[in-house]
Structure 1
Amino acid sequence: MRRSFAVALERYGYGVEVAADGLAGLELFRDERFDLLILDVMLPGLDGIGLCRRVRETSLVPVLMMSARGDGLDVVAGLEAGADDYVVKPVDTYVLVARIRSLLRRATYAPAPGLGPGPGPTAGEGTPPPEERVLVFGDLSIDTGGLEVTVSGRPVALTPTELKLLLEFAAHPGIVLERHTLLRNVWDYGWDGDSRVVDLCVQRLRGKLGRDRIETVRGFGYKLRR
């Protein structure tokens, strides 16, 4: 499976490196720089969930988990460990490529760790002054140009998916956003996806920004408190 996926992705123009187990994958991750990681849950040595946790200690690189069970604890555990999305085996190559493209598009929202903020809007007519690009909600500040988030003046490290989700909330403060709307706008799902992806990402955001920042509206969705 590992070899077949590598060949298929290379045909789509991706450069692919493979590892046979979790420990080898961790070593490869430490030695090289990647744009995205695909982690199988059932890896020998160090499983994909443990590997995802180790990656998240030092990196915000997009992570796509691959699970043999679509409704088991593996999915929840992978998302709680910091994965951005998941696919269920067996998976068609075109579905896998669609998820990869979505994650890579999201990654353009966030600066690479250690390299400073990403590029802001191109200067010219209509470019708002810097102060208008900063959204403030209590002690939460979001610089939409520099893509930097702070709470009480302290920087908060967010994955690309977490950042895009926060920007979606910040664009509609006080407005309830339904889960399927967030799946479409943040995860680029053209169909109804698994709402657990949204729930677990909101849970991670709350852990970084404060438990009361994002309110649950039962039966509807979530909203950012004004």
Structure 2
Amino acid sequence: AHWLGTDALRKDVLSRVILGSRLSLLAGTLSVLLPVLVGVPLGAVAGYFGGTIDTLAMRSLDVALSFPSVLIALLVAAAYRPSWAAVVVAVGLINVPIFARQVRATVLSIARLEYVEASRAFGASFWHILTRQIAPALVSPVVILASLSIGTAILEVAGLSFLGIGGDPTAPEWGAMLAQAKDYWSRNAWYALGPGAAISLTVLGFHLLGSALRDALDPRGNASG
């Protein structure tokens, strides 16, 4: 039995939705890995040193944020041959300023604490202060932001795939499946309902996970909010 019907090629929709979870989740997770690797160090350096470095970094991020995220993703993805790698890089670049700003704000507050000032006064190196005093305090906010961002990244990856910027358009990926289903909505609503529901539930799940992690790892921030 085909619980969600079949597509135009008589392939079972439910099976493709389940199979598509692997590609969608992988693309969403890898899209968040890039801003973690780039945005976190950038924000940490800008927040710790301040001055000209901070100004240049933040102004560059302001310029990036002034463009619509979809436009940036389209430009990056269109600059390369359509592939899932291009989509992952495009979505990842969108999130770099978000991670950098979050980390910068956290580092700014930590760098002014007495024990950090004392370490600097005693000649501790930036690397020592970063790894021993700043990095442990960054774990919670970065984990929370990453869990929230995975859901958003999955939605953005699906959106680019729907627009035809992804890799193989016949691949079992939720956005690509929605693109294939758009010509059949009036005749077979189940065709679009499957991947659409999968995207919605997955995004909701990651946002709930992020909220739960925020409550568990940052109770003071939750109480003040």
Q: TM-score, normalised by structure 1?
A: 0.29
Higher fraction of strand: 1
Q: TM-score, normalised by structure 2?
A: 0.29
